[in-house]
Structure 1
C-alpha cells in the first residue's frame, strides 16, 4: 500500500531572552513631541461634522418616506370609499 511520508518536525532553536527597554526615548527640548496634533483634531472634527450631516440627511429621507406612505394610505382610503358609493 502507498503511504504518505510525513515530514520530520524540526526542533526549535534555543534562544536566550533579553529584557527589553521600557523607557521612552528622551525628546529634544526644541522639538515638539507631536507636531501634527492640530491636524488630527481638525480631521476628527471634519469627520464628526460629516457624520452629523449624513445622519440628518438620512433622518430627512426617513421622514419624507413616512409622510409619502401616510399620504398613499389616505388617498387609497379616499379612492376606495368613493368607489363604494
Structure 2
C-alpha cells in the first residue's frame, strides 16, 4: 500500500554501435541518454467556470462553518469562566457571612 510505484522499464531500442572511423581525432564520449519522463495514468482535472464557482462557494461555506464552530466554542469557554467566577464570589461571600455569625 505504501510502496512506491516505479514506471515500466524503457523498451526503446538502443543506439547502434558506431562503426570504425578514419578520423585521427580523439574519440569523444557521447552524452548520457536521459530517460523520458514517465507518463501519468491519472486523469487531468479541468475546471470549467461553473465548477470553479461551485468550488469557491463550497470553500467559502466550509470556512464559515468552521469559523462558526470555533467562535461558539470560544463563547462557551468564556461563559463557563464567567459563571465559575460568579459562583466563586458568591461562595466566598457566603463563607465570610457564616464566619461573622
TM-score strictly above 0.5: yes
Deviations 1:9-41 (A, max 9, x none): xxxxxxx6035337xxxxxxxxxx312221111
Q: Which has the higher contact order (CA 8 A, sep 6+)?
A: 2
Equivalent residue, structure 2, for 1:44: 59
Which structure 2 residue ranges, 5 or more long, are not aligned? 1-7, 11-35, 41-45
More helix per residue: 1 or 2? 1
Aligned to 1:58: 73
Residue 30 (structure 2) pairs with residue 17 (structure 1):
no
- Written as runs of structure 1 = structure 2, the 5 A alignment for 1:27-38 is 33-35=46-48, 36-38=51-53
Aligned counterpart, 1:82: 97
> Greater CA radius of gyration, 1 or 2?
2
Count, aligned residues: 60
Could you state the TM-score of these two structures normalised by the residue count of structure 2? 0.54
CA distance in 2, matches of 1:43, 1:17: 42
Question: After TM superposition, what 4+ stretches of structure 1 lie above 3 angstroms from structure 2?
Answer: none
